[in-house]
Chains A and B, each alone.
Chain A
């Protein structure tokens, strides 16, 4: 795995599925695949922008080309100097991470921590232990980076289970038009 994170500011809003598909499409011709993908919101100007960061399974690819395909602008490479805070500190959101395809059903907290890169599972309101069952809702997990750790935040769900706070298909009002 490349140690080098690359980053692009997105020029338009993309769903995670579109984002990873576009990234894979841009990297594949170079024989690369993004093994980790994260997003982060840049709120430094009036209009917030989403930044996508990734690292590949080989040498970094030409990120200007990737930026073009994603309709974004190149922010990285981030390999020199200290890593930006959304990678190493707090605020990043993990779209693709090691072990993310290992789970798809209801799994105890301990198993989630054991088989994925997730370091910790926290619950809204607390009350979680290693045996607590988490419904991964089809394995769609979006842990966030908190003090350098990957933390999955869950909340109470039906039947004494827990489920991730961020889910794949929240209700879209107005057909998602706004």
Chain B
């Protein structure tokens, strides 16, 4: 590796706000110092609580003096959201086409603050693409100093779907990604005959080893942080509930969530709107041999489809996501573009042979708008809003890791301040925000205050979206599921629906109080433009070839956990 990425160039970039060069990333001394401090706190907390502490910023309360838990993600009221996208392809994927710089400038044009380049893992990618994409990402970072551009991978999880894996820029980041892909990508393992298929069940142990490997890179001080988000989790029914639980539990500081909404949101645009006329998100699969039988479509529901543009695991109240949250464990949702080929763009892939070069080459301009493409540019439709303390690589990843995240479509909202606190009885009076964990004395009251920033201008389709309703969803925390394939939380429900006044401007404030709380619980918030709802206010199943994505907008915020003491 050359001089360029062996050492952080602190001397020229440290003081530049929004610089791509994160002063703390890759600084071994600061990594080990922080690791030491974090370890000391965690060890003390574990002793005080008498139980396992997964780590800081993980939604697991550590103990403070006097035996009271320390709130996680304490509310400050000063959070600023940075919009991003952790799932973007380039010409270094066999089924995509754009230059890195094209995707980065589009992300900047459509207002993103951070983005992750995630080309598909595979033998050719590992061998040929990494060395080509790395300098291009570095060049784009220099050209777009106000945008954080992460290098990542769309990992073929052995035995399962795809996932985003990424690290902040650092001295070892590229080598960690390279070794990770060589050792643990499902497609690579299948080529090496170490598994029967990329998605066959014999890959499951490799997936857990892979996540532990990333965790060890962080613990060993070789990386500041590493994250994994499961992508399009229900699309083919091959991410079984026990696999998701196993990933989370194998490396809770790395495997932190999934796409609440997949990309390819233009795929359902009708043919008569010059769209591809396919299923929204390209969610048009049926069960195959590697699918989990519990996801079988039925007269009641089809887990293989999106609902209001969101993956069934997230969109169903009391569904799979809620079953994970009801365990009292963190698992966050996001929203991404999965941008490969953009609707109505005129480019088509270059002619370079991917298998032998790891690149499609320079895309070719056909001069004709391609109506069959099903994706949007990064930032055009899908945003993952992250509350980060600073505009740095590590800080944004810490926000993601801590669940201070809202998944948004079509600029439905700009952000949301969430404060959950004990207002009557002994408890955490300051309260916590998204992804956090607070506490209340048994019998006390817990107040939820939401301040939602409404769309401040038109979205990419040229319309100012109107938030019509907000649902507060809640369910009891019932502990670890005895059956690791549990996929429902029947006690979780919508506890209050707020109508947003049609004339609302700038922001709306909403409030709900949980009174006389007797049991630990969690709560989460979703909102909609109100255009496509069933009689219970839930999103409708998306219909192939009949989905204008801008006419069916939702946001999903991540949960807050409330522990009952005494």
Contacts and interface: CB of A to CB of B under 8 A. Distances in A.
Interface of A: 13, 41, 43, 46-50, 122-126, 142, 153, 155-159, 163, 165-167, 170-171, 173-175, 177-178
B299 A124 contact: yes
B285 interface: yes
B544 A174 contact: no
Contacts of A124: 297-302, 305, 541
A145 B552 CA distance: 35
B186 interface: yes
Contacts of A166: 286
Interface residues of B, number: 45
Interface in B527-566: 541, 543-546
A61 to B, nearest CB: 25
B95 A49 contact: no
Contacts of A178: 122, 156, 186-187, 190, 198-199
Interface string B137-166: 000000000000000000010000010000
B376 to A, nearest CB: 16
Given A163-B544, A170-B286, A178-B156, 16 more contacts: A47-B196, A48-B289, A124-B300, A124-B302, A125-B301, A125-B541, A153-B298, A155-B297, A155-B543, A156-B541, A158-B543, A159-B546, A170-B285, A171-B267, A171-B374, A175-B94
A158 B543 CA distance: 7
A157 B279 contact: no
B270 interface: yes
Contacts of A43: 293
* Interface-central residue, B94, B267, B297, by most chain A CB under 10 Å: B297
Contacts of A163: 544
11 contacts: A47-B200, A122-B299, A142-B286, A155-B302, A170-B284, A170-B285, A171-B278, A173-B282, A177-B120, A178-B156, A178-B186
Interface string B173-208: 000000000000011001000001111111010000
B95 A173 contact: yes
A153 B299 contact: yes
B301 to A, nearest CB: 7
A175 B156 contact: no
Given A47-B200, A158-B544, A174-B95, A123 B267 contact: no
Contacts of A156: 541, 543
Contacts of A165: 286, 297, 302, 304
Contacts of B122: 174, 177-178
A124 B120 CA distance: 33
A48 to B, nearest CB: 4
A157 B289 contact: no
A165 B285 CA distance: 8
A157 B543 CA distance: 6
Nearest to B290: A48
Given A47-B201, A178-B198, A155 B305 contact: yes
Nearest to B279: A171
Interface in B183-241: 186-187, 190, 196-202, 204
B556 to A, nearest CB: 22
B94 to A, nearest CB: 6
Interface of B: 93-95, 120, 122, 156, 162, 186-187, 190, 196-202, 204, 264, 267, 270, 277-279, 282, 284-286, 289-290, 293, 297-302, 304-305, 374, 541, 543-546
Contacts of B187: 177-178
B322 to A, nearest CB: 21
A122 B301 CA distance: 11
Nearest to A142: B286
A47 B202 CA distance: 6
Contacts of B302: 124, 155, 165
B546 A158 contact: yes
B545 to A, nearest CB: 4
B299 A123 contact: yes
A95 to B, nearest CB: 13
A167 B541 CA distance: 17
A48 B159 CA distance: 11
Contacts of A153: 297-299
Contact of A49 (B289, B298, B544): B289
A175 B95 contact: yes
Contact of B541 (A13, A50, A155): A155
A5 B122 CA distance: 41
A88 to B, nearest CB: 18
B555 to A, nearest CB: 24
Contacts of A49: 289
A134 to B, nearest CB: 14
A174 B360 CA distance: 13
B202 A13 contact: no
A70 to B, nearest CB: 15
Given A125-B299, A155-B302, A174-B120, A48 B545 contact: no
Contacts of A158: 270, 277, 543-546
Q: 8 tightest CB-CB pairs across the interface, nearest first?
A: A166-B286, A171-B282, A178-B198, A158-B546, A48-B289, A46-B201, A158-B545, A170-B284
Nearest to A40: B289
A178 B185 CA distance: 11
A72 to B, nearest CB: 13
Given A158-B270, A170-B284, A13 B289 contact: yes
Nearest to B122: A177
Nearest to B236: A170
B120 to A, nearest CB: 5
Contact of B93 (A13, A41, A157, A174): A174
Contacts of B270: 158
